[in-house]
């Protein structure tokens, strides 16, 4: 840990059994850190086997790569502690302060990890030597993840955003952009707007409104099997895949049972809470009270993904039969609709929640940014009259 951080938090590392000093230091200074080679290869390799069948593309024929980005539904999932045991121990400590158990994490949401892939394929045009990617500060589409809850400063439903790296992500290979110094603006904006925000809202006009002035950008690179842990308040954006290969990630989140406590009498803040306070120059925030009720809904980004599921299952079943395997070998939850397994899958992913008033996200209406864009089926109601749509690729 750096000397400056040691002076501020001399007892910080005494809390942790699994996080290293380097993990803690990098998270507090930059808002993210990498846990190398921490994904269970059994699941990584198995789930990647039918990637191209699911996308209905030929890995060897780029003329079949019809879209630059693919957001796929989740067919299989396993408990987080089984998928990435070392990483899970560190994630628990990031969220738990001095608590070495999982008591603060909401076990009913996103504690199972699966194959909801986000694929950045690049394009022929962007692979050309003379193609110039815009500077990250000049990109559109910057956002933080929020598609299922009313967002306040102390909201903890997306405490962390994780990147599971199913392929290598080399330089120029479509690694997500982070605006490290954008987190201060996000948190100050939420402090100043205690009425909160309902999804969807125009990130670039609200919490990410200072992106053009940000200076501290990081483009993530990784090896297959790495997990990148990022604070849920760091603005991020898609980058250009100049190598024109399949960069594959998944990005689950960590939700907590209770809102962040930003006024702990003993000062024993979790790292995720401490990073919020540091970002706006506070040691505590007493008596923070939202001006509206807390709300959670069905995750509105899931509609476009789930609409693809049945067709993906049909292709995977056909591919299995062609190999002499039974259809059941596909092992998709979408083959078990109406069963107890299906009900539990729906509950774990928030699919049993009421649809948000703003409607589900719909695909294909916003391609002005050169992305496989998305728009919204309805505009949000007052007090936030959003007039721009959000692109939530990574």
- What's the pLDDT tens digit per position in 67-104? 999 999 999 999 999 999 999 999 999 998 545 556 88
pLDDT for position 97: 53
Q: Looking at residues 252-280, what average pLDDT do you find?
A: 95
Q: Is residue 384 part of a domain?
A: no
Q: Considering its fold, how many domains does the chain have in total?
A: 1
pLDDT for position 201: 86
Q: Is residue 300 part of a domain?
A: yes
Q: For the ranges 48-52, 270-274, 286-290, 390-394, which has the lowest average pLDDT?
A: 390-394
Report the CATH number at residue 264. Answer: 2.60.120
How far apart are alpha carbons 157 and 232 in whole angstroms? 9
Q: Looking at residues 143-160, what average pLDDT do you find?
A: 95
How far apart are alpha carbons 115 and 105 in whole angstroms? 21
**At residue 364, what are phi and psi to the nearest 5 degrees?**
95, 15
Average pLDDT of every residue of the chain: 88
Band of residue 362 on the pLDDT scale cut at 50, 70, 90: very low
Q: Is residue 45 part of a domain?
A: yes
pLDDT exceeds 60 at position 389 = no
Q: Is residue 156 part of a domain?
A: yes
Q: Is residue 215 part of a domain?
A: yes
Q: Looking at residues 310-330, what average pLDDT do you find?
A: 98
Q: Is residue 231 part of a domain?
A: yes
Q: Is residue 5 part of a domain?
A: no
How far apart are alpha carbons 270 and 273 in whole angstroms? 5
Q: Is residue 237 part of a domain?
A: yes
Give the pLDDT confidence of 175-230 residue by residue, as tens digits: 999 999 999 999 999 999 999 999 988 999 999 999 999 999 999 999 999 999 99
pLDDT exceeds 50 at position 379 = no
Global pTM value: 0.89
**What's the domain range around 59?**
14-376
pLDDT exceeds 90 at position 34 = yes
Give the pLDDT confidence of 117-131 residue by residue, as tens digits: 999 999 999 999 999
């Amino acid at each position: 840990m750096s000397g400056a951080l040691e002076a501020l938090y001399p007892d910080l590392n005494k809390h942790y059994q699994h996080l290293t000093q380097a993990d803690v230091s990098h998270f507090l200074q930059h808002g993210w850190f990498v846990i190398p080679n921490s994904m269970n290869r059994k699941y990584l390799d198995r789930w990647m086997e039918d990637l191209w069948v699911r996308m209905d593309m030929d890995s060897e024929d780029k003329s079949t790569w019809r879209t630059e980005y693919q957001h796929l539904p989740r067919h299989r999932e396993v408990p987080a502690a089984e998928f990435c045991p070392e990483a899970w121990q560190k994630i628990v400590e990031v969220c738990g302060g001095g608590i070495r158990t999982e008591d603060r994490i909401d076990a009913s949401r996103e504690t199972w990890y699966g194959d909801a892939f986000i694929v950045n394929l690049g394009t022929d045009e962007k692979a050309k030597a003379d193609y110039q990617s815009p500077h990250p500060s000049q990109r559109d589409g910057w956002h933080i993840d929020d598609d299922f809850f009313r967002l306040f400063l102390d909201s903890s439903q997306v405490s962390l955003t994780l990147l599971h790296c199913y392929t290598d992500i080399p330089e120029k290979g479509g690694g997500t952009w982070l605006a490290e110094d954008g987190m201060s603006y996000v948190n100050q904006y939420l402090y100043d707007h205690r009425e909160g925000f309902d999804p969807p809202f125009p990130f670039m006009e609200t919490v990410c409104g200072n992106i053009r002035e940000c200076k501290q950008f990081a483009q993530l690179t990784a090896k297959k099997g790495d997990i990148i842990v990022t604070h849920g308040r760091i603005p991020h954006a898609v980058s250009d895949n100049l190598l024109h290969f399949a960069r594959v990630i998944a990005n689950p989140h960590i939700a907590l049972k209770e809102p962040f406590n930003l006024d702990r009498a003993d000062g024993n803040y979790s790292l995720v809470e401490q990073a919020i306070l540091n970002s706006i120059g506070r040691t505590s925030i007493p008596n923070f009270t939202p001006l509206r009720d807390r709300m959670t809904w069905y995750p509105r980004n899931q509609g476009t993904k789930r609409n693809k599921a049945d067709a993906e299952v049909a292709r995977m079943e056909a591919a299995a039969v062609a190999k002499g395997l039974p259809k059941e070998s596909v092992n998709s939850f979408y083959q078990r609709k109406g069963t107890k397994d299906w009900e539990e899958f729906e509950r774990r992913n928030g699919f049993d929640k009421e649809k948000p008033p703003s409607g589900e996200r719909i695909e294909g209406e916003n391609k002005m940014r050169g992305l496989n864009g998305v728009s919204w089926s309805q505009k949000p109601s007052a007090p936030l009259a959003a007039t721009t749509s959000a692109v939530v690729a990574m």
